[in-house]
Chain A
Amino acid sequence: MNAKTTKTNNSIPLIGVRSVSFSYGAKNTGRALNRVSFFINRGERVAILGHNGSGKSTLVKIMGGICEPSEGVCEINGQDINNLSFRELRRTIGLVFQDPENQIVAAMVEDDVAFAPENQGLPPDQIQIRVDIALAETDMLHKKGASVSALSGGEKQRLALAGVLAADVECLILDEPTAMLDPEGRLKTEKVLRYLHSEGMTIIQVTHQIETESFSDIDKIIVLSKGEVKWQGLTEDFWDISESLGFEMPDEMRLKRYFNLKGLKFPDDFANINIPERVFKTPRKSGSLKYNIEGLYFSHDSKNKVLQGIDAEIYSGEWLSVIGRTGSGKTTLIQHLNALYKIQQGKIYFDGSELPQKGEEVHTLRQKTGLVFQHPEDQLFSPTVKDELSFAPKNAGFDGAELEEAVMYGLECSGLGSEFLKRNPLSLSGGERRLVAIASVLSAKPECIVLDEPLAGLDASYQHIILSMLGRLRDEGKTVITVTHDLKTALKYSDRILILRNGRKIQEGTPDEVIGELMKSIEPEAWPEVLRISSEIKKINPDFPFIYDYEEFLKCISQI
């Protein structure tokens, strides 16, 4: 499909961005983009890196012809994008966005992929050919007759990709295409992109996160910061200065560079090294038993068993991570903890007494155990941050000075200044909104806080803020429970880990205790990179331990 006869000279870049500026509204003080210039050649795979608010989404809209630049020009095949006809533009550039749900227009898979070729006015048989090819290219042929609502998040994003490919475009521009996906969905999407690139497709990927799998395939990197191009160049030159640009190098890359520096061959030179005595993370002195779960069953109907007999103990003053693939029952389990799901079978004890299931006691429970859903910023509704933070404590019966104090407590936990109290939550940045949403649960002063994927979609700086906030809460003696796909964070920060698979508990224990089981439950591609490297070494050196933390790995090999 990509072997298209190109009308234009190959020496002209496919996309030329020349001194492009853009601002939203006249009164806006800052420009979203300021004199951005770069070129992208046919067949290249380019990453545009930038933190939240760097102007990268605006840039996507300009290159895609959705927005017009206030100054400068954007050229496609040497022609000003404004002079291109709507049809020509749409047949050259395809756009894929972060949330697959917002790109799928039809309820059935095939109908959706057909949308673009239908808009191009192709005859039915040719539309069908385009649909079949696009589904094959995205590895979605097996879902051809399925309905969209039956797909997983990763499949939906590949469907969105197929929907764009069916337009037979020359260039794909993707805005954070994997940010909302689980590791499995991310890997499969990445595989598809790599395949398309190998077939000659030009791919421009806008992202805030560097992942090893994708970067091995990327030719060129453009770093965007505060609306300006801070750096651009080849991928291999990027790593020398990445840290100074504010991007962390992936652990695997860091280690391999370290090996090179020391002249070590991986993994051969690690075959016979002496391994120093390992200091295991000492289990924290746990507080009192907070939750005791015995034989918890839950099913939607006879076929759909979600939880199949879970036993678990959760203590105060500990950080527990619940880990498992999508569909393992994690979300259902945590929604039992504050009685959002009623217990069908089994028992849950909270502070020694049975978990209330109805009446006023449930409200008391929900004050004591705060639950933060995935993307909690989507649940804000108040005109000011102060009102938002007052909602939960007010519902819990806080009043007057007590309420004021609770609001300030929530704000303090989030680390946001008191100047935020008067602001409208909708006017804040994504990261700030997430902090407000978490603070709006903490302001009820819960003893126990449960968070579903609290770091999803955030850039590194906000991830650090939230991780250290959770660490502080745990040190205050609260129970912190996080549900996550992110093994690296779970292993590094949590005190204990609970592994679920198909609604059953596989194991529960400290990170070092569960690591073996974890590696069996989760596919290697989703392991922390350091763990992947140490398991490579373990293959030739059985004494070598499974290490998941970068610093610890360095300590372990320091003798060589």
Chain B
Amino acid sequence: MYITDINLGQYIPSDSFIHRLDPRAKLFSLLFIISSIFPSKTVLSVFLWTLILCLIIYVSKISWKIVLISSKPVYFLVIFTFIFNIAASLFKSPDLRNAVYGALFMSSRLLILMMFAVMLPLTTAPLELADGLDALLRPLERFRFPSHECAMMIGMALRFIPLLMHETDKIMRAQLSRGARLDQGNIFQRIKAFFPVLIPLLVMIFRRAEEVAVAMEARGYDGSKGRTRRRPLLWKKRDTLVLVFSFLTVMTFFMLGL
């Protein structure tokens, strides 16, 4: 009933090949992989990508359980896709078997795709991820796109997600204690019943945001101007290898029409 998986999608520190990769290499590879899975039409391709995913999870030394738990939000999307697809194809032709088969393919493809994406924050420290994004978005600065601010924002969001979940859980419990009926009634009653949770949460977020801003200023933060990094992103040979390898894999899949 309440939020218990506080560590949803959080970075799991470990010393693995995947962890050590440059975030840019991981981001680019992920882009390649997604662009290959997304349009794939064959069961074989989904199967092969599943094998590759398993290999990556194995190499990353992250337990299967954590990966499965961290993918929780994905499941709802996958189930929704499954049901929606069955409904959509039944609408076109009343062949149930075909519909189930099609929906199964679509939803498992989505599941694999999303799980590749889940592996990124699990194996990359938020700040590194932010740095990687910053570097990738940097060319857009020419068009006045605030790449540093965007990356900083994403890094901070990742830092505060567990805290916000924790606070939401606490406020929900407190309002339930005062007799709030959060899980009863029709959709409108439920939305209305959620205000006692939403309002304190918003007040808290704004207060925290203000205090965080003051604390950052006090620690000398003045945007990206003159800022250096403790661990500057270092592109190594292995990063090039991984990038080339994932590019070649994707190309092979494409050539073979998988």
Contacts and interface: CB of A to CB of B under 8 A. Distances in A.
B156 interface: yes
Interface stretch (B46-54, B86-94, B95-103, B224-232): B224-232
B67 to A, nearest CB: 16
B61 interface: no
B166 to A, nearest CB: 9
Nearest to A396: B179
Contacts of A115: 216, 219, 221
A300 interface: yes
Contacts of A108: 11, 13, 125-127
A391 B178 contact: yes
Contacts of A131: 230
A25 interface: no
Interface stretch (A144-152, A321-329, A533-541): A144-152
A66 B6 CA distance: 34
B181 interface: yes
Describe B's contact surface by its main secondary structure: helix
A111 B230 contact: yes
A128 interface: yes
Given A108-B11, A108-B125, A378-B200, A300 B4 contact: yes
Interface in B1-32: 4, 6-7, 10-11, 13
Contacts of B180: 391, 395
Interface string A106-150: 111011001111111111100110010000000000000111110
A308 interface: no
Nearest to A377: B200
B200 A66 contact: no
Interface string B195-218: 110111001100010011011111
B165 to A, nearest CB: 10
A366 B177 contact: yes
A394 B179 CA distance: 9
A107 B159 contact: yes
B119 interface: no
Nearest to A370: B177
B145 to A, nearest CB: 22
B178 A86 contact: no
Contacts of B179: 363, 366-367, 391-392, 394-396, 444
B218 to A, nearest CB: 4
B133 to A, nearest CB: 15
Given A90-B218, A167-B220, A381 B127 contact: no
Interface in B151-196: 155-156, 158-159, 162-163, 167, 170-171, 173-181, 195-196
Interface string B214-258: 111111111000111111100000000000000000000000000
Contact of B230 (A91, A128, A391): A128
A124 B226 contact: no
B230 A378 contact: no
A145 B13 contact: yes
Contact of B220 (A107, A119, A127): A119
A66 B217 contact: yes
A163 interface: yes
Nearest to B213: A102
Given A379-B171, A392-B179, A119 B219 contact: yes
B25 to A, nearest CB: 20
Nearest to A93: B218
Interface residues of A, number: 69
Nearest to A127: B230
Contact of A116 (B155, B181, B220): B220
Given A378-B200, A379-B200, A64 B218 contact: yes
A264 B152 CA distance: 62
Given A66-B218, A119-B221, A381-B200, A147 B13 contact: yes
A110 B167 CA distance: 25
B217 to A, nearest CB: 7
A103 interface: yes
A119 B222 contact: yes
A395 B127 contact: no
Contacts of A255: none
A106 B221 CA distance: 13
A111 B219 contact: no
A101 interface: yes
B230 A149 contact: no
A446 to B, nearest CB: 10
Contacts of A93: 218
A73 B243 CA distance: 58
Given A147-B10, A366-B176, A90 B211 contact: no
A66 B215 CA distance: 10
Nearest to A300: B4
Given A107-B11, A108-B13, A111-B127, A124 B231 contact: yes
A323 B44 CA distance: 60
A371 interface: yes
A149 B220 contact: no
Nearest to A376: B174
A262 interface: no
A338 B179 CA distance: 10
B228 A340 contact: no
A105 B200 contact: no
Nearest to B216: A105
Given A104-B159, A107-B126, A119-B222, A373 B230 contact: no
Contacts of B126: 106-108, 111
Nearest to B125: A108
Nearest to A371: B177
A340 B177 contact: yes
Contact of A107 (B158, B167, B181, B211): B158
A217 interface: no
Given A111-B125, A149-B7, A105 B159 contact: yes
A380 interface: yes
Interface string B107-137: 0000000000000000001110000000000
A95 interface: yes
A395 B178 contact: yes
A124 B178 contact: no
B63 to A, nearest CB: 13
A441 B176 CA distance: 11
A90 B219 contact: yes
Given A94-B218, A105-B159, A163-B219, 11 more contacts: A91-B220, A95-B218, A105-B155, A119-B221, A121-B227, A300-B4, A392-B179, A395-B178, A395-B180, A396-B179, A440-B178
Interface of B: 4, 6-7, 10-11, 13, 125-127, 155-156, 158-159, 162-163, 167, 170-171, 173-181, 195-196, 198-200, 203-204, 208, 211-212, 214-222, 226-232
13 contacts: A99-B211, A105-B215, A106-B126, A107-B127, A107-B158, A116-B219, A163-B219, A373-B170, A378-B203, A379-B175, A381-B200, A381-B203, A391-B196
